[in-house]
Chain A
Amino acid sequence: MSALPVVDAASDTAGTTAAFALTDAARRRRLAIALVVAAVLLIAAGLMVGSQGWSWSAFRADLADTQAGLILGEIRLPRTVGALMVGGLLGLSGAVAQGLFRNPLADPYLLGSAAGASFAVVLVLTAGSMSGHAIGFATAAWLARFGLVAAAFAGALAGVLLTLALARGAQEGVRLLLAGVVVGVVLGAASDLFTTVSPEALRGKQVFMLGSTGFLGWASVTMLGAGLALALPLGMRLSRALDALSLGDDSAASLGLDLPRIRMALVVLLAMCTGLAVSQSGLVAFVGLVAPHLVRRCAPAPHAYTLAASAGAGGVLLLAADVLARGLIAPQELPVGVLTALLGGGYLLWLLHRRRVA
């Protein structure tokens, strides 16, 4: 194409090019700073909110009181940090899902992890309520020890495995998506069947479906932290593959990517992140869907940046919802999933409105 006249590099176009580059870098920097500042402020708010809602005097009194200091150290702090980490895992896995399926509406629960976790929780709750009747006390006791957390994690992984089995591996994105939908529908129906015969299980399932950060202690924080410490570097390693996938499967394969292996690695990453998140806090809606959207709106970038920023944005979103959930009707609490659905749904409605106006 050297046959055509080349645009003079000293022209206004070159200046515009430099301006674009500066704007992109500045936007990414600004978003990173905003997320850090928001996280710090929300952690402070999370420590402050108690049975009287947000009360500065009550907080100062808590700091002085040894007994209440335990509440801060053993309840509020791990819950606050845990919410940040759960949101981080959901934001990261949402960004991975949207890159893997090249669909901005993909959420991390698409591959059956949510349905699997929910079904496993219902099974454990149903078994508990049947103890002494349909099953022995020993079996029920074992299931109680196994615990809802472990059941939810195992169920989430099992849901994804089922999806992979149905799709015969991770070779094709569309097959994976369809299989995930089928697994979601079937396991959802199975959960409903169990809950019709066990009202206690239905109540427990509802709590699980709404999501809660109320059970996050230091043990949870340790597990979530370890998960995030593994998942984030792995995601960053696979980020260039996600960039290549944005050009289409064939173009990505022609660049030397072993697509079935890459897809499997991404699915495993998704399963681990969502499994860990739902096992600790139940099914929190919209965080995984909205966090990557917000990041792309504020600072469009390749996946290396988007994955990390989505983890940050997810953490901030969930923590904000958690702080509001605890403070709005204190001493009672709103289910955190209701707030994330309201916030996330509201954002998507606003996006829809903007598109209509444009």
Chain B
Amino acid sequence: MSDLRTRKLRVALAGRLVLHDVSCSFHPGWTAIVGPNGAGKSTLLRALAGLIPLAGGSVRLDGQDIATLSPAGRARRIAWLAQQAPVSGELTVRETVRLGRLPHLGLFGSPTAKDERIVDDAMLTTECRDWQHRRLHELSGGERQRVMLARVLATEAPVLLLDEPTTHLDPPHQVALARLFKQLAASRTVVSVLHDLPLALHADRLLVLRRGAVQAAGSHDDPALHAALTASFDHAVRIEQRGARAVVLPQLED
């Protein structure tokens, strides 16, 4: 189980400050990062993964600054799923998922029977094992997304950072993914950027971002968080309590 914290995080892209003094923490469980387009959600995730240089502040994993970790050391503890990964080359599904063992094997190690079992389990979990010998570029967007998720699971990292993992997935697979996150969240820190607000409300916690700053953070049933959420979307949505669950509805009337 791992704790990820940011302290006054600042990130600049092309000379423009995209994240302004973001201080937040992510504990074991499932946290959904939500907010309007351009809020800095993907940038925050990339900063948490150590993929972009910081203009200020720090990211700490279990108290240790991730900038002091080696690339392989960081990769064994933090796994990152791209919003939309480019596809080139001739890798099959299995070969792609096996790359998830790279942080453990390095460039020169050979996969063992244990590694192959982990790869098998990851593919079974995301239901892509039956087409493990098909090439990545032959798959649909949704199928590819499941393969990439399997690759992330194969790293066995305690922190999973997932950028819009439901992209291209049909509703049944989106629901299945949400159930998977809840299962994983029992023993890992799962942080996902989601545009799908109804799905996001099933997370344990939400972090609302707008214009590079944190608007609110809290439990999915926190009324104050609901208010911040609707405000961040300029009241284009409203949140209503239906029984034990809050639901998001579009605000079509003025």
Contacts and interface: CB of A to CB of B under 8 A. Distances in A.
Contact of A99 (B49, B89, B96, B100): B89
Contact of B102 (A99, A240, A246, A250): A240
Interface residues of A, number: 39
Contact of A248 (B78, B85, B126, B173): B85
Contacts of B82: 247-248, 250-251
A300 B90 contact: yes
Contact of B71 (A7, A258, A306): A258
Contact of B89 (A4, A243, A257): A243
Contact of A20 (B108, B134, B176): B134
Interface residues of B, number: 51
B80 interface: yes
A296 B135 CA distance: 12
A185 interface: no
Given A255-B103, A306-B90, A300 B135 contact: yes
Which of B108, B130, B173 has the largest count of A CB atoms less than 10 A from its CB? B130
B126 A1 contact: yes
A208 B132 CA distance: 48
Nearest to B125: A1
B34 to A, nearest CB: 22
A332 interface: no
A333 B95 CA distance: 46
A191 to B, nearest CB: 34
Contacts, number: 115
Contacts of A246: 87-89, 91
B74 to A, nearest CB: 7
A256 B71 contact: yes
B175 interface: yes
Given A1-B176, A4-B176, A244-B102, A238 B107 contact: yes
Contacts of A14: 130
B201 interface: no
B133 interface: yes
A358 interface: no
Nearest to A302: B95
A137 to B, nearest CB: 52
A195 to B, nearest CB: 39
Nearest to A23: B133
A306 B134 CA distance: 17
B76 interface: yes
B176 A256 contact: no
Given A3-B176, A9-B130, A254 B51 contact: yes
Given A6-B127, A17-B132, A302-B95, A256 B103 contact: yes
Interface of B: 46, 49, 51, 70-76, 78-80, 82, 85-92, 95-96, 99-100, 102-103, 106-108, 124-127, 130-135, 146, 148, 155, 172-173, 175-177, 179-180
Given A24-B92, A302-B91, 13 more contacts: A1-B127, A3-B176, A3-B179, A6-B127, A7-B130, A20-B133, A240-B107, A243-B95, A243-B99, A247-B148, A250-B82, A254-B78, A254-B80
14 contacts: A1-B180, A13-B131, A17-B131, A237-B107, A244-B102, A246-B88, A246-B91, A247-B82, A251-B82, A251-B85, A254-B78, A255-B100, A256-B71, A300-B90
